[in-house]
Amino acid sequence: MPQFEYLARSTNGEQVAGTLQAANRQEALRTLVAQELFPVRVVERRQGWWSWGTGRVPGKYLAAFYTQLADLLRAGVPLLRSLQILQRQMPHGGFQEVLDQICQDVAQGRPLAAAMQRHQQLFGPVAVSMVRAGEEGGFVEDVLRRIGRFLEHQQELKSRTLAALVYPAFLLVVGVAVVVGMLGFFVPKFEPIFERFAQIGQLPWATRALLGSSQVLQQHWPVFVLAVAGVVWAGVQWSRRPSGRQVLDRLWLRLPGVGNIVRTMAVARFCRILGTLLRSGVPVLRALQIAQDATGNQVLAQAVAQAAEQVAQGRSLAGPLKASGEFPADVVEMIAVAEEANTLESVLAEVAETMERRTARVLDTLVRLLEPVLLVLMAGMVLFVVVALLGPILQSSSFL
């Protein structure tokens, strides 16, 4: 469901900012009016799969905040004093200002979830909903600790994935830089040598292709750079549109090899967040609305939205997920069994753990294969340049 950023004023004239979920802008306006807020500005917010926040504050600070707040509350420290302690100790300046505003709201008698909702662009709808359910059920310490563990797990998974891709990305950048450098600075020095071979028609096709590429790069490199930048910009703008995002997400799922990894990671995120929300006491329909955005894929999110409609009519969750054809069969079967045994929240966490371990093994294997493949490609490009440069010389020596 789309999210809208709003700026409004309360009945006492106080300015309020935050985000909310609604089917369209008109529904968002009606929601604000129902909350006795007078809208000043309401715009749709573009967001990706990371439904815990925008990333303005690093995840490690958010995870530490939730974990330490849970420890303080469990030790018997009052909520306001705990927030003030964390606010003074927070090393991140921007997060420190947010915590200061939360302290002021809590001091005025607002619940913690309501204070966090005013900064939902930072905390995200998942954490806000879980904290609200924890406050209503009297187990907010457990909820905060659960959120902290979730964020720590996500940060570890993200760091492990990025670390695995650093070396292949470095090889790719170095390979492209070497080829461009050779075409722009090294190859032109051989052009006078090959003029005579070109006149008598004894220039091999590889050399002609290399010299032609070098000349195009030298004479039209501004056009080339602008064309690449234009294509990238147009692609980014197209991918931000709902229709473009839908096509792109469907393409990712259909790519051989890569699609299976993308699907597995998206389903794992969905299962982990849905299980965490259900375990924290969030109603199932609200949990499905939040978890569908956590997939990060419009195709899977649409399948979850359709499943939520079926659940609202009293049907099971596994049936519509299976009918969509977008969820793995083993995951659907485990969800069906869990629904029958009334253990859905715990089974979802186990499913997410299993799928994440499986994805980690596949990614590790692919990265190990990617490194030699990139090395071979780099060697092949350099070998082509060398053969193209030495070919005419070797050919002339054979004639002599």
Specify whether 97 is located in the same domain as 161.
no
Q: How many CB atoms lie within 10 A of CB 275?
A: 23
How many Å separate Cα 45 from the centre of its chain? 15
Specify whether 182 is located in the same domain as 321.
yes
Angle between helices 93-107 and 59-74 (to 10 degrees): 40
Specify whether 304 is located in the same domain as 215.
yes
Domain count, the chain: 3
Domain span at residue 103? Answer: 59-138
Angle between helices 120-137 and 258-279 (to 10 degrees): 40
3-state secondary structure string across 229-246: HHHHHHHHHHHHCHHHHH
Residue 146 lies in a domain: no
Identify which of 127, 108, 107 has the alpha carbon closest to the alpha carbon of residue 116: 127
Where residue 327 falls (left for φ over 0; alpha for ψ -120 to 50; beta otherwise) is beta
Specify whether 127 is located in the same domain as 161.
no
In the 8-state DSSP scheme, what is residue 189?
G
Q: CA-CA distances (angstroms) from residue 257 to 245, 270, 360? A: 20, 21, 14
How many Å separate Cα 265 from the centre of its chain? 11
- Residue 1's pLDDT is 52
Which residues, listed in sequence order, are joined to residue 394 by a DSSP beta bridge? none
Q: How many CB atoms lie within 10 A of CB 288?
A: 22
Specify whether 349 is located in the same domain as 308.
yes
Domain boundary among 138, 167, 194: 138
Residue 8 lies in a domain: yes
- Residue 47's pLDDT is 44
Specify whether 32 is located in the same domain as 80.
no
- Its pTM stands at 0.61
- Residue 2's pLDDT is 61
Residue 83 lies in a domain: yes
Tell me the pLDDT tens digit for each residue of 170-198. 877 887 888 778 777 777 777 777 776 66
Residue 245 lies in a domain: yes
Specify whether 204 is located in the same domain as 315.
yes
Domain boundary among 138, 165, 182: 138
Residue 262 lies in a domain: yes
335: Cα within 13 Å, side-chain hemisphere: 23
- Rounded Cα distance between 287 and 120, Å, is 16
Specify whether 34 is located in the same domain as 127.
no
Specify whether 274 is located in the same domain as 134.
no
What does DSSP say about strands 38-45 and 15-21: parallel, antiparallel, or unpaired?
A: unpaired
Burial grade of 362 (CB within 10 A; 0-12, 13-18, 19 or more)? middle
- Residue 81's pLDDT is 92
Residue 51 lies in a domain: no
Specify whether 339 is located in the same domain as 276.
yes
83 and 69 in contact (C-beta within 8 Å)?
A: yes
- Rounded Cα distance between 378 and 54, Å, is 37
172 and 374 in contact (C-beta within 8 Å)?
A: yes
Specify whether 73 is located in the same domain as 37.
no
Tell me the pLDDT tens digit for each residue of 366-386. 777 877 888 888 888 878 877
119 and 48 in contact (C-beta within 8 Å)?
A: no
- In CATH, what number is assigned to the domain containing residue 306? 1.20.81.30
Residue 50 lies in a domain: no
Specify whether 228 is located in the same domain as 338.
yes
- Residue 399's pLDDT is 47
Residue 53 lies in a domain: no
- Residues contacting residue 289 through CB under 8 Å, at least 6 positions apart: 1, 21, 305, 308
Domain boundary among 138, 170, 195: 138
CA angle 221/223/224 to nearest 5° reads 60
Per-residue pLDDT of the chain (400 residues; tens, 9 = 90+): 566 777 777 777 676 777 776 766 777 788 888 877 877 777 765 443 334 444 467 888 888 899 999 999 988 899 999 999 998 888 888 888 888 889 998 898 888 988 888 887 788 777 887 788 778 777 788 888 888 887 887 777 777 777 777 877 887 788 788 877 877 777 777 777 777 666 666 677 777 787 788 877 777 778 878 888 888 888 888 877 777 777 888 888 888 877 888 888 888 888 888 887 788 777 888 888 777 766 778 888 888 888 888 888 888 888 888 888 888 888 888 888 888 888 888 888 888 888 878 887 887 787 778 778 888 888 888 788 777 777 776 666 554 4
